[in-house]
Amino acid sequence: MECTARNMEKPDPTALTDLVRQAQAGNMSAQNELIVAYQARLAGFVYAMLGRSAPVDDLCQDVLIKMLRGLPRLLEPSLFEPWFFRLARNACIDHTRRERWRRMFVFFDPATDDPPVFVDTEKRDRVEALLALLQRLSARDRTLLLMAQEGLSLAEMARATGTTTTTIKTRLHRARERLRELYEKRT
């Protein structure tokens, strides 16, 4: 799966709102376009949230299905992005919870090898080191850092997490501090 410029950048808000409205109306072509527009960003977000590549595809499918099913209930198409990343965040948290339960009951679970995703070993090492640090943060801190990387504004993050802009600002600052502390302890 290639990353293309089209699906890596944040879409134009007006065009996005139109696209979401068409998708809500049941236009399959618009729904397809919406999936293509967000699949790379979603995959990156899920990969960073979970720290592993193996569950990325299945979880992305789950999120996209929830998105398509939930679209008719989205009252404001302009708020699509925070709503979408909220779905993604919840799916990742649910997945982590299920994995924890599963590991409690499956004693002899052979380690699942993540498929290799990088050819460049230096890049792979740096990314894996960063992902390992992110995993040591709480899900809440990780979510905020990743949503900020995805270009969501403070207001959008507040909407996605059900809090206020002031709270998000404080939490985001603290999350960055914690990441920095973890990095310093590691080095």
Partner 1 sequence: MKNEPDLSELWPAIREGGTAALRPNLAARVFARMAAAREELTTQTTILVGLGTAMACLMLTLALNLWSERRARDEALDQWNVLATENATLEQESSL
Site membership for partner 1, residue 25 (CB under 8 A): no
Rule CB under 8 A: which of 30-59 touch partner 1?
A: 32, 35-36, 39-48, 53-54, 56-57
Segment contacting partner 1 (CB under 8 A): 11-19, 62-70, 80-88, 160-168?
62-70
- Minimum distance between the CB of residue 107 and partner 1, rounded to whole angstroms? 27
CA angle 118, 122, 128 (to 5 degrees): 65
Binder to partner 1 among 2, 101, 107, 113 (CB under 8 A)? 2
Residues in contact with partner 1, counted by CB under 8 A, come to a total of 45
Residue closer to partner 1 (CB basis): 41 or 171: 41
Phi, then psi, of 48 in degrees rounded to 5: -70, -35
Contact between 172 and 157 (Cβ < 8 Å): yes
CA 23 to each of CA 11, 29, 32, 140: distance values in angstroms, whole numbers, following the listed order: 15, 8, 8, 30
Binder to partner 1 among 126, 155, 166, 173 (CB under 8 A)? 126
Rule CB under 8 A: which of 68-107 touch partner 1?
A: 68-69
CA dihedral for 65, 9, 149, 21, sign (positive or negative):
negative
- Minimum distance between the CB of residue 5 and partner 1, rounded to whole angstroms? 11
- How much of the chain is helix, strand and coil, in % rounded to 5? 75, 0, 25
Residue closer to partner 1 (CB basis): 103 or 180: 180
Return all residues near 142 (Cβ < 8 A) that are at least 6 apart: 48, 49, 134, 135, 175
Pair of tokens at residue 25: 């109306």
Binding stretches for partner 1 (CB under 8 A): 1-3, 8, 28, 32, 35-36, 39-48, 53-54, 56-57, 60-61, 64-65, 68-69, 115, 117-118, 123, 126-127, 129-131, 133, 145, 149, 176, 179-180, 183-184
